[in-house]
Every structure is written in structure tokens, then in C-alpha cells.
Amino acid sequence: MEIRTMKKSDLEAYGDLCRYCFRDFDTPQSIDRYMSIVAEQLGHSWGAFKDGVLHAGLWYQPFEMRVGGSFLPMGGVAAVVSRPESRSQGLVRELMTRMHQQMRGEKRPLAVLQPFKNSFYAAMGYADSFFVHEHLFEPHQIARRPVGSYTIREVNGQAHWETLEHLRLRCGGNYTGMVRRDAGYWESRYFTSWKGLRSVYLVERPPEGRRRPGSVVGFLITNLSQSNERADVRVAQAIWEDPGALNAILQFIRNLRDQVKEVRWFLPVDVDIFPHFEDPKIKVLLWPKMMLKLVDLKGAIEQRSYHPDCGGAVVLDVTADATSPWNSGKWRVNWDAGTATVRKVQRLTTRTLVIKTDIQTLAVIYSGHRSASALVRQGSLKASSSALALLDGAFLPGVPCMEEWF
């Protein structure tokens, strides 16, 4: 079996295999559109070939992802497929191994993916880190409230992408997992309709004085799907700067009540929209949406920033997965003045604080999804109280959130 990056001429076969494997690609147009995105990342797409025939493939989109106060290079892994007759022969594991080696070489220390099955990717070093709440409700359940002077209008998304990006990074919450988007990414993932009708709206607040201009204080991107039986709306993204802007967004959705049966809206788990419902019997599902992997432990820890008060050293005795063996071993992490340095050690002194962990548990702590102390309480980690204090102070728990779908 030959393992190599894909060429443009391989994309037709990769597209056919993706179409065979995933329900999302229900039309030839949708797979053509998807493959045109992959075509821009040929150097990041890997295939396993036998006699020139593609048997398995995957690719990753390069992102800059927020981790605490820094943005780090991350690979968003997608469209992992293998032919049914070639499955369970280790082909995908081999492709993942080659991809992780490439990411490490590019100084891209993090990878994220949306699993079809968590245990499959846990064996390759990934851990559930990004959870979301999926809200399902009918528009009439939203309480009727006056919108005051806020207005909402439909716009051409491409002409306003910079405004949207700015608003998202400023008001979308400082979540670990937030990525930067460029014009092309906004266009292909947020303004283009893959199924249904995509619409982009701006929420504006009028000027306070006569001389001051009005300002954009929110946006809403919806996807309307209609069938003979019913129409549904998915909120692809909504951002608001203040409660008035959120109310304007909700009233807009409420106005769809005679037309739309159900609204589907994914939100970070710390966002509470319940007070806005007249009838709060809405369904909220907790989804373990994305998994995180520390592709290169040293880079992942060194490239992010820490609270300036964080100081001290600990040795992480790490068991790595088979696709990234370089992460195994004893790593001395030293925090000083908001930065960390990491180096491999062979021997331990009696005074060293040591924490034994696998790479998946470390990813959970790193993302902030669970603190080291919380993992000790639930029995997934053992550590002394001094070592715990250091880890808890470095990797502050929070609400990691990955909005993207790839």
C-alpha cells in the first residue's frame, strides 16, 4: 500500500468514497463543492493507494485556534474514510500517523475532529473536550418582547465578512477552541448553502446622538430547510453584543412561528437562553461535539501563554498513543512569568513533583474542560496536592467551545 499526499487527480475518487460513506453529500454538487475546498489543501490530504486505487483518505484544514490568551496552529481533521473491503486493516491509523508526523513538522501542535465514535479516536490520542448544547424548540415558545429601536436586515454576507469576524472575536466569548476565519472560509462554510436556504442578517442599534453613526451589535445566520411536510430553521451562528441585540435576534426567530416547525441552535454550554422563553419546555441536548489531541505535547504547552503568577515545575510522566509516540516519556514543565518551557528528563530527583498521565487525560486538562483536581476527584488521575495546585493554576478550567463543523 502506498501512503502519500493526494493530487488533484485523486479528488474524484476521494469524492466518490466520501459520498459513499457520508449521508451529508446527497448530491453530486455538494461533493464537488466540498472537494473544491480540499483542493486548496492538497498538501494536507493523505491517501492510501493500491495499484493506483484509493482505499482510504483524510485531510485537515489548517486553523489558528484560541487557547487561553493565545492563538495556536491547529489542524481540523475531516472526511476520514476507507473502502468497506479495506477496513480494519489499519489503513486509517497509518494515515493518521503520517498526518500527525506532518503536523508536528509544521509546528502545528493541536488537532481537532468530530468523531463518529469516540473510542476509535481515543485510541489515536484524542479526548472529548468541546461540548455544546443543542437547543430544539418551536418559534412560538419565545416570549414576545418589544425590540425597541434595534433593527435587523438581510445583507450579502461576503460584503460584510470583516464586520462579522470582528464582532465574533469581540463578543463571541473568549472560548478556548475559537478559530480565526478568513473571507474564503466565511464564504464556503457560513454564507454558502449546502442544503436549504442560507441567509445572513445584521442587527443594528441606532445612533445615540444625532451626530453619531448607528452600530452593528449582532448578527444572525440561518439555514431554512423546507419539505412538503414542514420547514425547519438551523441557526448557523448568532452573536450579540448586548441583551437588546439578543432580544432582536429572538424576536426575528419568533416571527417565523407560522412558517417554521422547529429551530435548531447549538450554543456554548455556559449560554443560558431559557429566560427568553414564554414556554421554557424546550429540548436541550448535551453533545460531546469535538475531540482534541495534543499532537506535539512540548509545542502545545510552550506555545500558549499562562497567568503571570503561575510559577513552579512539575514532571509529566506521559503515556502516548501509537500515532504520536514522541509524546511518551518524562517531561519537565517549568512555568515562569506567564510562559512555560518543556524538556525531556531521564531521571527524577526525590523532590520532583510527578504526575503520571496518558496523553488523552492531559488534553482534557489542557483544554480546560476539566481541571486536574476534578479529574482526581472522579478517579481518572492521581497527583499530590502541590502538583495539583500547579496544574490547576496553569490550565485554568473554563468552557472550551468549538463552533466549527469539519
Ligand X SMILES: CC(C)(COP(=O)(O)OP(=O)(O)OC[C@H]1O[C@@H](n2cnc3c(N)ncnc32)[C@H](O)[C@@H]1OP(=O)(O)O)[C@@H](O)C(=O)NCCC(=O)NCCS
Residue 87 makes contact with ligand X by CB under 6 A: yes
For residues 401 and 132, the answer to whether their CB atoms sit within 8 Å is yes
In terms of CB distance, is 92 or 245 closer to ligand X? 92
- Written as nine digits, the cell of 73 is 496552529
Q: Which stretch binds ligand X (CB under 6 A): 84-92, 127-135, 300-308, 344-352?
A: 84-92
CB of 26 to ligand X, least distance (A): 15
In terms of CB distance, is 95 or 260 closer to ligand X? 95
Residue 397 makes contact with ligand X by CB under 6 A: no
Residue 127 makes contact with ligand X by CB under 6 A: no
Residue 92 makes contact with ligand X by CB under 6 A: yes
Angle (CA) 177-43-187 rounded to 5° is 55
* Interacting residue with ligand X among 62, 101, 102, 115 (CB under 6 A): 115
Q: Which stretch binds ligand X (CB under 6 A): 75-83, 140-148, 170-178, 202-210?
A: 75-83
In terms of CB distance, is 85 or 229 closer to ligand X? 85
Residue 1 makes contact with ligand X by CB under 6 A: no
- Written as nine digits, the cell of 88 is 480494519
- HSE at residue 222, side-chain half, CA atoms within 13 A, is 22
Residue 122 makes contact with ligand X by CB under 6 A: no
- 170: CB partners within 8 A, 6+ apart: 241
Residue 130 pairs with which residues in a beta bridge?
A: 290
Residue 179 makes contact with ligand X by CB under 6 A: no
* Interacting residue with ligand X among 38, 54, 67, 91 (CB under 6 A): 91
CB of 385 to ligand X, least distance (A): 38
CB of 174 to ligand X, least distance (A): 28
User: Rounded to the nearest 10 degrees, how much is the dihedral formed by the CA atoms of 240, 243, 246, 247?
Assistant: -160
For residues 318 and 331, the answer to whether their CB atoms sit within 8 Å is yes
Backbone angles phi, psi at 151, to 5 degrees: -125, 160
Counted residue by residue, the chain has a size of: 406
- 44: CB partners within 8 A, 6+ apart: 5, 59, 60, 61, 62, 75, 99, 102
- Written as nine digits, the cell of 222 is 440561518
DSSP-derived pairing of the beta strands 312-319 and 354-358:
parallel
Site map (CB under 6 A) of ligand X, residues 32-71, x = contact: ------------------------x---------------
* Interacting residue with ligand X among 3, 5, 24, 90 (CB under 6 A): 90
Residues that bind ligand X (CB under 6 A): 21, 56, 80-82, 87-93, 115-117, 120
